[in-house]
């Protein structure tokens, strides 16, 4: 049920592979800590792979927004990769789809970061 | 889709995240039994989850002294869910529009918006103290001949 994060580095971009649920409580906290850790390490190009995120609630959406602004305010970029239909629809409903830079191909997503 | 199947259940639960998960699951099961579509079921469950989060977190503030009451009722025409907290009361008119440009990057404040997006009717009632949220999803009549 809870969310898991694994981290990869590809061509200077930090890819966080998220799986599970991003919801109030554990999932949101895990994401917040993961973003904080990466920024502390100086990794400011962050790609969130949401392909295995089965569920997200309003708290999870809020955490995605907070992650986006936190990275941006640190001088970095945060982009989203592989949205499920459910997450895609939620970002559309909340008018956040155009706020985020959403990608569906990892290689082109990595290449799109400012180097 | 709808038939004459009716059912009802009610709960009084602690102000915990377990309550949020429990009510989300109950909503999913009630929606399935009421014959809602595969698209509608997770949306109904999410609306109930958001209402439960409001009750547990924003209403009761996780207080061990306060409880969340919930009822689920499937009538011939509707699925009706009521979730009541014992908090200070919520005035829906004071909730900022999460789609407004000045709010779009806020890290919270989308719960009530999602409830309204996914349910057919949403009603607030002040219970002094507390707020009762009524969520209604209409059961669509089955097409003639089915």
Question: Looking at residue B6, what is its pLDDT?
Answer: 81
The tally of domains found in chain A comes to 1
* Residue A35 pLDDT > 50: yes
Shortest CA distance to A55 belongs to which of B114, B36, B85?
A: B114
A89 belongs to a structural domain? yes
A115 belongs to a structural domain? no
Chain B positions in Cβ-Cβ contact with residue A63 (cut-off 8 Å): 107
Contact assignment for B108 to A62 by CB distance below 8 Å: yes
Question: Looking at residue B145, what is its pLDDT?
Answer: 47
Question: Looking at residue B89, what is its pLDDT?
Answer: 93
The answer for B132, left when phi > 0, alpha when psi is -120 to 50, beta otherwise, is: beta
Degrees, nearest 5: CA angle B5-B9-B15? 145
Degrees, nearest 5: CA angle B140-B23-B92? 75
* Residue A115 pLDDT > 80: no
**Interval A42-53: pLDDT, tens:** 999 999 999 999
Chain A positions in Cβ-Cβ contact with residue B50 (cut-off 8 Å): 57-58
Mean pLDDT across the stretch A24-28? 84
* Residue A85 pLDDT > 60: yes
**Interval B31-75: pLDDT, tens:** 999 999 999 999 999 999 999 999 999 999 999 999 999 999 999
CB A74 within 8 A of CB A42: no
Domain that holds residue A102: 4-110
Domains of chain B: 7-138 (3.30.565.10)
Report pTM.
0.91
**Interval B79-110: pLDDT, tens:** 999 999 999 998 888 999 999 999 999 999 99
Cβ partners under 8 Å of residue B62, min gap 6 = B15, B16, B56
* Contact residues of A toward B, CB < 8 A: 23-25, 55, 57-59, 61-63, 65-66, 68-69, 86, 90, 93-96, 99
Question: What is the band of A32 on the pLDDT scale with cuts at 50, 70, 90?
Answer: very high
Question: Looking at residue A2, what is its pLDDT?
Answer: 78
CATH of the domain at A41: 3.30.750.24
* Residue B144 pLDDT > 70: no
| Pair of tokens at residue A25 | 């409580």
Contact assignment for B117 to A61 by CB distance below 8 Å: no
Question: Looking at residue B49, what is its pLDDT?
Answer: 97
Q: How far is A63 from chain B (nearest CA, A)?
A: 6
Least confident of A17-31, B55-69, B94-108, B126-140: A17-31
Say if residue A44 is preceded by a cis peptide, omega within 30 of 0.
no
Chain A positions in Cβ-Cβ contact with residue B20 (cut-off 8 Å): 24
Q: What is the ipTM of this complex?
A: 0.90
Mean pLDDT taken over chain B = 93
Chain A positions in Cβ-Cβ contact with residue B17 (cut-off 8 Å): 24-25
């Amino acid at each position: 049920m809870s969310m898991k994060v694994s981290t990869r580095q590809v061509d200077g971009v930090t890819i966080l592979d998220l799986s599970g649920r991003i919801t109030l409580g554990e999932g949101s906290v895990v994401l917040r800590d993961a973003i904080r850790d990466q920024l502390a390490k100086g990794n400011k190009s962050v790609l969130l792979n949401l392909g295995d995120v089965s569920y997200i609630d309003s708290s999870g959406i809020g955490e995605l927004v907070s992650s986006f602004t936190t990275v941006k305010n640190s001088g970095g970029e945060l982009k989203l990769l592989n949205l499920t239909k459910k997450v895609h629809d939620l970002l559309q409903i909340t008018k956040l789809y155009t706020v985020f830079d959403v990608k569906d191909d990892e290689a082109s997503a990595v290449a799109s970061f400012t180097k | 889709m709808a038939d004459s199947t009716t059912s009802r259940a009610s709960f009084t639960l602690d102000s915990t995240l377990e309550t949020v998960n429990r009510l989300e699951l109950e909503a999913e099961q009630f929606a399935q039994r009421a014959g809602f579509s595969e698209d509608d079921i997770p949306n109904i469950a999410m609306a109930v989850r958001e209402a439960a989060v409001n009750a547990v977190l924003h209403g009761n503030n996780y207080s061990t002294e306060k409880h969340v009451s919930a009822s689920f009722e499937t009538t011939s025409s509707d699925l009706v869910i009521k979730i009541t907290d014992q908090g200070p009361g919520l005035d829906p008119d004071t909730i900022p529009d999460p789609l407004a440009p000045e709010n779009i990057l806020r890290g919270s404040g989308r719960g009530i918006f999602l409830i309204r997006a996914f349910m057919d009717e949403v009603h607030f009632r002040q219970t002094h103290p507390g707020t009762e949220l009524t969520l209604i999803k209409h059961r669509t009549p089955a097409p003639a001949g089915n």
